[in-house]
Amino acid sequence: MKCSKRRTQKQPVRPSRREMPLLYPSAEQGLTSEQARALLAAGWGNEAVASPAKSDKQIVRENVFTYFNLIFVVLAACLLLVGDIWDMSFLLLAAANTAIGIGQQLRSKRTIEKLTVLTASSADVIRDGEKQRIPVDRLVREDVVEFGSGAQIPADGTILSGQVQVNEGLVTGEADAITKKAGDGLLSGSFVISGRCRARLDRVGADSYAAKLTLAAKKESAPAKSEMMRSLDRLIRFIGVALIPIGIALFYNQFVIQDLGLRQSVVSMVAALVGMIPEGLYFLTSVALAVSVARMARNRTLIHEMNAIETLARVDVLCVDKTGTITRPEMEVREVVPLDVEAYPQQDIADILGSFYQVMEADNDTARALAEKFPRGLGWRAEAVIPFTSATKWSAVSFANHGTFAVGAPESILGKDFAPLEKRCRYFAEKGCRVLLLAQCDGAAEGRLDGLILPVALLVLENPVRPDAIKTFAYFASQGVAVKVISGDNPVTVSAVAAQAGIDGAGDWVDARELKTDQDIARAVQKYTVFGRVVPGQKRKIVRALQSAGHIAAMTGDGVNDVLALKDADCGIAMASGADAACQAAQLVLLDSDFSALPKVVAEGRRVINNIQRSSALYLVKNILSFFLAIITLFADFPYPFVPMQLTLISALTIGIPSFFLALEPNHDLIRGKFMLNVLRRACPGGLTDILVILFAELFVFTLELTLGELTTICVILMAANGLTVLYYVARPLDLKRGLLLGTMCGAMLVALLTMGGLFSLSPLSFPGLLVMIVLVMLVVPCNMYLERLFDAVSRVLLRRRESRERRRSARSSFDQTDPER
């Protein structure tokens, strides 16, 4: 079944609704095309309540009308009032950041829209008596829609014919399967586990249950942000709040206390505030994420939630299913092993299976393989059909005058009587085959088989390991990502397949039926790699147990039994060839259903987050200096040593231009620790070096009675030297491209300082001033090196303490789980 995607296009505006009479279409005929067109024109269509994508106007508005752009405009107006037009050059940098941000986000939006048009969500609708597939947003009230296994319900409706089992866990929180028959209601947002039905849509669009929940959620809270974006928001809020009082106090200090005059006081205040604003940091982050989403889209990977990029970069445990992930999704019947040849010869077994799959819908890979192998039945009349569920792990059909037959997991069908067949099943399981049992019994009802159960035959199926699976799992092992294989299959089978794929610890398996409590599961995730005979609720608990143990867990899946685990995982990854509901629940969809593409996706996530961390450090060096220098200036009899034009030069050559190049560099290291702590660790040595050398410069200048122009020149040169030194540390390890970038920025800075001094308000230095500048420039690199080593040592100590705390916490947790009474 083709997977549906969340639409990221701008939705059409829903017309105001006109009253239309109810038509009560039949399950066989549905609406006519004319009736559907009339209902759509009258506003009774199933349009989404709100588009998750931003419109072009929103993108432009959000990039132009920002708090910091407003501050820039106010500061420019202050300079204009005192006649200093030249120092308004920071507006050019702000405009460039805004234009680049708008351009890249619009470009990424176009890429996603093109991809989404090709993969829009659709449904099977009955119109004019014929079944046709149309986009879900073209459905109308009273459309008759046919739902099968894996389908997600797009609107509230009533079943007209057929029977299904649905899971409403995504909308009600109740994870148990619910049987729905003719006359029962279906909730939008729920999904079909098994069976097939035709239902009439009664409440569409904004009237549906899921739409009302969505609207309520939108009113109560905004979409959750990643740890990185939350950290940036907090930083920007802090700076935004601090700017105004610091600016007012600094102007008062310069104008009233130091009596520097109106023009000089305004210029100094503006320079300090411009230096405190990380003007390109938020834009850089947004652009880098937008470019990353577009790159993934071009590689046939669709991102539903931007947070998934950062989460992927931090994943340290990957939970995978066997079928469709480690192996190819297509299954083949390897052999049929009769268990009582006299009572059930081969031909009788073929007739039974042919008749079984004439009436049982083949809604999963195993059933489809058996239906293709045994296409001819005897036309027996079915009295009852019980579809397969992940909870029972069998399906059954009761035939008039021929008895009841069941197909499913041998241990689930036979229960305590499985022991005589265990050895024969294990023989095939150890070869990586899936073993099912065909059995006859007296009767069947939902969840149970009645009477005497007679084993008829073992059905041995196989699906080969993907040829690129070994390479894929080797990549994750090399990146420190543990793999957990979670499957409904026999654990011996799953273990054998995992070993063929080269998964570390494939021999450490457990039968999930032995895991009775949450404590059992919590212990098992620490000990085992392979989990067999897992039911959907246990998949969810396994993911939660990993998260409780401090892991960042990603989950891959393609079936309805994966939906709840996909939703709970830190990052849910669905295969596009899988169930609609799985793709709707996931944050990321592999459109080619190719698991081997996942290493590229993880590498892209790590690249963008690592590079944002690296580039953010460049911005914060200047912000740390400007913030603390402004505070020091308030309490010391020193003028602020910079003018805005000088900070624009330093920002462009040591921060702005390098950061955009570095943000696109390969960088696939596993991300550890908190975003802001990592950034501060990189930025603090450079920021503190700036503060120290500039304070020394001010002391020397006033001791030697040098001019304010000389102080400004010395401070600009020191800040430039330190900025380039920080750029070197951030760009390590240097390769040809990064070396060329560093060399170009050094050359450009040298040319600007030597040939355009007048342009940037630089003054000639006297001999004492020259000596001060040389001595302090020579201190920049040693000071940076010492502080780098100091912060490295502190980081190692803090890391050891954190690891020690985590080990103690893990030990306490294990002890508590061993003794539930605690």
Q: Which residues are catalytic?
A: 321
Residue 141 corresponds to which tokens in the numbers above? 């009230």
Residue 379 corresponds to which tokens in the numbers above? 């036309």
For 269, phi then psi, to 5°, come to: -60, -45
In the numeric block, the tokens 């306490």 are attached to 812
Name the nearest CA neighbour of 257 among 584, 634, 556. 634
**Pairing between strand 332-338 and 454-462?**
antiparallel
- The Cα–Cα gap between 10 and 18 comes to 24
Cis omega (within 30 of 0) for bond into 764 = no
What does the angle CA 616 – CA 617 – CA 623 come to, to the nearest 5 degrees? 95
- The Cα–Cα gap between 325 and 319 comes to 10
Q: How many CB atoms lie within 10 A of CB 622?
A: 28
- The Cα–Cα gap between 10 and 207 comes to 20
What is the residue type of 571? C
Sheet containing 530-532: give its strands across: 301-303, 588-590, 571-575, 553-557, 317-320, 482-486, 530-532, 509-511
Q: Residues 763, 767, 772, 778: is their CA dihedral positive or negative?
A: positive
- The Cα–Cα gap between 367 and 408 comes to 10
Q: What is the DSSP letter of 427?
A: H
Q: How far is CA 687 from CA 115, 327, 648, in A?
A: 44, 52, 17
The answer to whether 529 and 485 have CB atoms below 8 angstroms apart is: yes
Q: How many CB atoms lie within 10 A of CB 248?
A: 11
- The Cα–Cα gap between 779 and 784 comes to 8
Half-sphere exposure at residue 230, Cβ-oriented, CA atoms within 13 angstroms = 11
- The Cα–Cα gap between 41 and 44 comes to 7
Sheet containing 454-462: give its strands across: 332-338, 454-462, 434-441, 403-408, 394-399, 382-386
Residue 737 corresponds to which tokens in the numbers above? 């491209």
What is the residue type of 590? L
Partners of residue 462 on adjacent β-strands: 332
Query: For residues 138-173, b (16+ Cβ closer than 10 Å) or e, as one string?
Result: bbbbbbbbbbbbbbbbbbbbebbebbbbbbbbbbee
- The Cα–Cα gap between 603 and 666 comes to 9
Partners of residue 459 on adjacent β-strands: 336, 436
The answer to whether 496 and 464 have CB atoms below 8 angstroms apart is: no
Name the nearest CA neighbour of 645 among 724, 756, 754. 756
Q: Is 535 helix (H, G, I), strand (E, B) or coil?
A: coil
- The Cα–Cα gap between 243 and 627 comes to 9
- The Cα–Cα gap between 213 and 695 comes to 58
The answer to whether 51 and 215 have CB atoms below 8 angstroms apart is: no
Half-sphere exposure at residue 458, Cβ-oriented, CA atoms within 13 angstroms = 22
Q: How far is CA 209 from CA 147, 205, 461, 498, 731, in A?
A: 18, 9, 41, 41, 52
Q: What is the DSSP letter of 734?
A: P
Query: From the CA atom positions of the chain, what is the Rg in Å?
Result: 33
State the maximum Cα–Cα separation within the chain, in Å, rounded to a whole number.
113
Q: What is the dihedral of CA 617, 620, 625, 631, to 10 degrees?
A: -150
